Structure 1
Amino acid sequence: MSSIIPQQITHVVAAACLLGILYVFGIIIYRLTFHPLANYPGPLLGRITDWYSVIRSAAGDRHIHFLELHKKHGPFVRFGPNRISVNTAEGLAKIYGIKANTQKSAYYHVFNDVFKGDSSLTTVDHELHAKKKRVVSSALSENSVRAMEGIVLRNIRKFTNHLGSSASDVESDSINSDGWGSPKNMTDWADYLSFDIMGDICFSGSFEMLDKPDNRYVLDVLPKGVNGLNMSGWMPGILRLKIGNILFAKLNESMKRYEAFANKQSAIRLNMNESIKSSDVYSHLLTANQKCVGKGDRPLFTPTDLVGESSLLITGGSDTTATAISTTFFYLLHNPETYSKLKDEIRPLFSDVEEICGGAKLASCRWLRACIDEAMRMSPGVPGLLPRVALAPSGVEIAGRVFPPGVDLGVAHYAIHHNEDLYPDSFAYKPQRWLQEPQESETADDARQRVERAHSGFCPFSVGPRGCVGKAMAMKELMITIGRVIWLYDMRLAPGQEDRGRGGPNKGYGRHRTSEFQLTDMFVSKTDGPLVEFRSRVV
């Protein structure tokens, strides 16, 4: 009798395993043949499981794969069992635009799972998002940005002073005999600047990264932590079943440290509330709460929501802006004629560096703006795809294709920014593509249409009602920073370090172009370089 029971258990286990195998096999067959998206091309693993997105996110090359998949398969690519990537300007408008019949997908619930609260970026509910965004938009409105300009300028002055100093990112300890300062890694220094600015305007307290290293660990933790969230968004079971603790232990640890940093900044700011004399972004959130309580309503931003909003402000306002700064310097220094033309525009226009601030004069620097836009096109701060789910009753129609309610859709920024139909010779750095002056055999109408096409696919800050509320702030910071550096200094790539950050034949899949600044896709872009030397110019 005792020998029969183990035998029965063995049979049950074998039957369960067989049923499990048949179940998985059945899912695979269904997803490849009978699923509503079965006819859309894409990588085999992606058509079967969202583990494809997890693996590519972990590798940091998801942006490259999106581009190559669209080159191979055309404008529609199935990259998950229920997910479609679209690579057209029409798709950008239909998925993200004001009239889009979409909302943020379940991917964003992971942010609530980690921070136990929603931010204006991650809130899925349309009505709640609209309320939260109005508050944050007010905090970062044109008037608010103008009032904060003194804070921005104070940090930019500090930044430009450091660039000309002898403190080095490599083993070089002094200003050279010909006046060149020690090499600076522009990825690092742009990060220090952007984080210090956001600390000041959001929390009334600089992170002090320009002056000391205490908080610089965040520059490593943040992109890894955000990528941990990104991977968990594609496969929520990674977070809920604690799988990440085993498979992605370092990323998981970074995610926890990033959460702790956001908690810390929120707590510090709450404790100093009574002593704040000028309005910062956080004060707008607290004022909105007070108005809700005065009406007898639930606070718009709960304590956990405030932490979620802090994490958004830290990430969205710092890391992406820093990438735009370092990227612009990379392309300027690898394109000498473009750099020379920018000097010719900036230097005669301003008689003193303090004239380079927000206003009509700086806004008239169209070549400067074109240089920045072209850098953000080639190497966007968020290179991947922000998923939206098609809503009932009609779903979403793009180019005659109807995607039913429940399907996740998105446009990968890096891929559409290198769509040859919109940006001919897309891997060439050509700021002139943003200007309406006719080129070569173009007519004035040709030039106008060229610029319109370029803008139709341009999305470094995303587009539509869910686009970045801090765009005006970011552009002001970019224009002033780069304008002042060009006015103050001559600059060059550090001798022997000219290849820092660029692609090459041995750099990996899709990274062979020596003219391209390389990105690691960690939801936000991670870069390295360029390594630059600065020399004060004779005024």
Structure 2
Amino acid sequence: MLEMSTFIVLAVGSLFSYILVTTIYNLFFHPLAHIPGPFLCRISAFPSFYHAVKRDRHVWLWQQFQLYGGKVRAAPNLVVFNSPNAYNSIFSHKANVKRSKFYDAWSRNSDDVNALMTSDIEIHARKRRLLNLAFTDHSVKAAGPFIAMHIDRWNELLLDSEGGIDEWSCPRDVSTWTMYLVFDILMDLCFGAVMNTKEPGENPFQKIPQAFDDFVSYNYPITKTPFLELLIWLKPRGLDNLLEYVIPPTIKDHYAFVEDMVTKRLKEQRIDEMGKTRKERKDMLHFLCSAKDPDTDEPAFGFKDLLAEANLLIMAGSDTTSITISSLFFYLTHNQRAYLKLVKEIRDVFPEVEDIVYGPKLLKDCKYLRACIDETLRLSPAGPSELPREVLPGGTTIDGEHYPAGVIVGTPNWAMGRNEEHYGDAYTFRPERWIVSDELESLNLDEDVRKLRRGLHTFLKGPGFCVGQKLAMLQMSMVIARTLWRMDVRLAPGTDIGAGDSKLGWGLRDPRQYVLGDAYIALHQGPLVQVRPR
């Protein structure tokens, strides 16, 4: 029988040998050994994990591009690229890649598999086809009046001048106000439910949107752990049950809320099917509850499936939209020329606020509004880091170089939006870059704009294309247009919440830049604004 001291020596020696052999392999024999990157990143995923914990991983990746060029080995088996060509190679329909195990790590357990959080190609494709039923052009158009109703009430609350100075309201934190607005809209569209989180006073549901931030902040570092493969293997073997005991209370509240909403909605659906009531309006859950499996003609979604998809709709639909709206208010209140130009367009195009509805006037004629949204999506992407893809057998070619099966590749969105080779003045908020113009002083040809758009893919492309893009664009357009039609907006004097600062370090020093945290979905605060009736 081995003595304890001998066992310890053997264990330490084995561990040291493993680390030494792994380090030598990663440095000299790994298929990515020739890719530039920090020394520690070439031998370990700990730097990537560390910055995921710090919530600044997007900025860290941008820094590596400044040091090493357009492709960087950010972990032993991960290459990130900062080029539109690389993006199109990775995310096109023909790309020989699939979602990496990063997505599997997000699931609560084996039952919690939705269209976004799975690496299985067949499961994703099947769930994606069914989700499309809830996001048709007809359903998006039908959502317009309900979106308008919530925005109008939100505008009333914004304009409440109690506690204000002179004719201006008291300062409003756009991030908080927008978070509640978008949550109310989404719960109405998904479940036909009235949450009223945007209303003044105490509301138990106001903690739910904040729980989304807690959810991604808790899970994101786990998905970037150096032991991801082991974690994925352990999850169905008891780790999922163990994690249930240690997850933060707010995340448990989030899970309980989603389960409660789906349970109530299913009861309503059964009553509808029995013919006791008849809802003229069909929310998103109606389409998911009614969906049939084309092979068996049985219901496509069971209760656990509906929980998973509802979780996806709430998380992706609320946080991502509120991030863009908050960011756009930041950039408008820090760029007076762009603000005045946008206000003029909105008030010239629409004689009355009631005219701001789904249709070509809003979605096509308001070119500067769309340009402002696109410019905001470039500078403040809802997903700041890369969406990792695993190369399939046979390999793939990216930027003229072959990558073998098993390698993880991606293009970090925050860094891509600041690619000076592609955008020129990449750190400047200049919506005009997205508008075709033949005027001599602002010459911008159609081919110039098309070239720029090759680098802007906030809603993804290929098999992972966001099914909710049209609904998100409608919400963002209506919120901005109706708000700026009704009121003037300014940055609250003496405030700088959300702005870059020299204390924040390289990449975040510019006070004209809106600061995001990286937890897979962006975290954000501010700006503080004041409003007054026009």
* Correspondence for 1:231: 221
* Correspondence for 1:369: 370
Residues 514/191 of structure 1: CA separation in 2 closer, same or farther (3 Å cut): same
What is the alpha-carbon distance in structure 1 between the residues aligned to residue 506 and residue 48 of structure 2? 17
* Correspondence for 2:183: 195
Unaligned stretches of 5+ residues in structure 2 = 273-277
* Correspondence for 2:469: 471
The alpha carbon displacement at 1:130 in A equals 2.0
What is the alpha-carbon distance in structure 2 between the residues aligned to residue 77 and residue 207 of structure 1? 45
What is the alpha-carbon distance in structure 2 between the residues aligned to residue 480 and residue 225 of structure 1? 28
The alpha carbon displacement at 1:254 in A equals 4.5
Equivalent of 1:496 in 491, 494, 497: 494
* Correspondence for 2:32: 37
SS class of match (2:422): coil
Residues 332/47 of structure 1: CA separation in 2 closer, same or farther (3 Å cut): same
* Correspondence for 2:533: 536
What is the alpha-carbon distance in structure 2 between the residues aligned to residue 254 and residue 424 of structure 1? 43
The alpha carbon displacement at 1:268 in A equals 2.8
Equivalent of 2:288 in 280, 285, 289: 285
Residues 335/392 of structure 1: CA separation in 2 closer, same or farther (3 Å cut): same
What is the alpha-carbon distance in structure 2 between the residues aligned to residue 301 and residue 49 of structure 1? 40
* Correspondence for 1:390: 391
Does structure 2 conserve the Cα–Cα contact (< 8 Å) formed by 1:174 and 1:182? yes
In the alignment, structure 1 residue 514 sits paired with structure 2 residue 517:
no
In the alignment, structure 1 residue 259 sits paired with structure 2 residue 255:
yes
What is the alpha-carbon distance in structure 2 between the residues aligned to residue 386 and residue 258 of structure 1? 24
The total of aligned residue pairs comes to 518
Give the letter for the 1:436 counterpart: V
Residues 136/296 of structure 1: CA separation in 2 closer, same or farther (3 Å cut): closer
Unaligned stretches of 5+ residues in structure 1 = 167-172
* Correspondence for 2:275: none
Residues 49/259 of structure 1: CA separation in 2 closer, same or farther (3 Å cut): farther
What is the alpha-carbon distance in structure 1 between the residues aligned to residue 420 and residue 249 of structure 2? 40
Any idea what the Cα deviations from partners look like across 1:372-411, whole Å, max 9, x if unmatched?
Answer: 1111111111111111111122x11012211111111111
Residues 302/230 of structure 1: CA separation in 2 closer, same or farther (3 Å cut): farther
* Correspondence for 2:157: 162
Residues 82/295 of structure 1: CA separation in 2 closer, same or farther (3 Å cut): closer
What is the alpha-carbon distance in structure 1 between the residues aligned to residue 386 and residue 258 of structure 2? 24
Give the letter for the 2:459 counterpart: F
Equivalent of 1:454 in 452, 455, 463: 452
The alpha carbon displacement at 1:12 in A equals 2.7
Does structure 2 conserve the Cα–Cα contact (< 8 Å) formed by 1:346 and 1:365? yes
Residues 244/47 of structure 1: CA separation in 2 closer, same or farther (3 Å cut): farther
The alpha carbon displacement at 1:440 in A equals 5.4
Give the letter for the 1:222 counterpart: F
What is the alpha-carbon distance in structure 1 between the residues aligned to residue 186 and residue 360 of structure 2? 24
In the alignment, structure 1 residue 222 sits paired with structure 2 residue 212:
yes
SS class of match (1:506): helix
Does structure 2 conserve the Cα–Cα contact (< 8 Å) formed by 1:196 and 1:206? yes
Does structure 2 conserve the Cα–Cα contact (< 8 Å) formed by 1:225 and 1:251? no
What is the alpha-carbon distance in structure 1 between the residues aligned to residue 107 and residue 153 of structure 2? 36
Greater shift in the superposed pair: 261-270 or 20-29: 261-270
SS class of match (2:510): coil
Counting only pairs closer than 5 Å after superposition, residues 51-70 of structure 1 correspond to structure 2 as 51-70=46-65
SS class of match (1:198): helix
What is the alpha-carbon distance in structure 1 between the residues aligned to residue 136 and residue 239 of structure 2? 41
* Correspondence for 1:169: none
Give the letter for the 2:476 counterpart: L
Any idea what the Cα deviations from partners look like across 1:458-504, whole Å, max 9, x if unmatched?
Answer: 0222222202110000001111110111110011111222x121011
In the alignment, structure 1 residue 174 sits paired with structure 2 residue 163:
yes
Counting only pairs closer than 5 Å after superposition, residues 127-138 of structure 1 correspond to structure 2 as 127-138=122-133
Does structure 1 conserve the Cα–Cα contact (< 8 Å) formed by 2:145 and 2:357? no
Residues 400/84 of structure 1: CA separation in 2 closer, same or farther (3 Å cut): same
Give the letter for the 2:62 counterpart: L
* Correspondence for 1:208: 196
The alpha carbon displacement at 1:252 in A equals 4.8
* Correspondence for 1:526: 523
Give the letter for the 2:144 counterpart: E
Does structure 1 conserve the Cα–Cα contact (< 8 Å) formed by 2:52 and 2:221? yes
Give the letter for the 2:186 counterpart: M
Greater shift in the superposed pair: 117-126 or 63-72: 117-126
Give the letter for the 2:288 counterpart: L
Does structure 1 conserve the Cα–Cα contact (< 8 Å) formed by 2:183 and 2:209? no
| CA-based RMSD | 2.5
What is the alpha-carbon distance in structure 2 between the residues aligned to residue 187 and residue 79 of structure 1? 31
Any idea what the Cα deviations from partners look like across 1:219-278, whole Å, max 9, x if unmatched?
Answer: 32212212322222223356848999999x997555444333333332232233235712
Residues 492/9 of structure 1: CA separation in 2 closer, same or farther (3 Å cut): closer
What is the alpha-carbon distance in structure 2 between the residues aligned to residue 244 and residue 449 of structure 1? 51
* Correspondence for 1:359: 359
Residues 203/250 of structure 1: CA separation in 2 closer, same or farther (3 Å cut): same
Equivalent of 2:138 in 133, 137, 143: 143
SS class of match (1:533): strand
Does structure 1 conserve the Cα–Cα contact (< 8 Å) formed by 2:289 and 2:299? no
User: Identity of counterpart residues, as a percentage?
Assistant: 33
Report the TM-score, using the length of structure 2 for normalisation: 0.91
Does structure 2 conserve the Cα–Cα contact (< 8 Å) formed by 1:117 and 1:308? yes
What is the alpha-carbon distance in structure 1 between the residues aligned to residue 100 and residue 309 of structure 2? 19
What is the alpha-carbon distance in structure 2 between the residues aligned to residue 536 and residue 442 of structure 1? 33
SS class of match (1:312): helix
Give the letter for the 2:437 counterpart: E
The alpha carbon displacement at 1:138 in A equals 2.1
What is the alpha-carbon distance in structure 2 between the residues aligned to residue 228 and residue 492 of structure 1? 35
SS class of match (2:503): coil
The alpha carbon displacement at 1:9 in A equals 3.4
Residues 250/207 of structure 1: CA separation in 2 closer, same or farther (3 Å cut): farther
Residues 134/339 of structure 1: CA separation in 2 closer, same or farther (3 Å cut): same
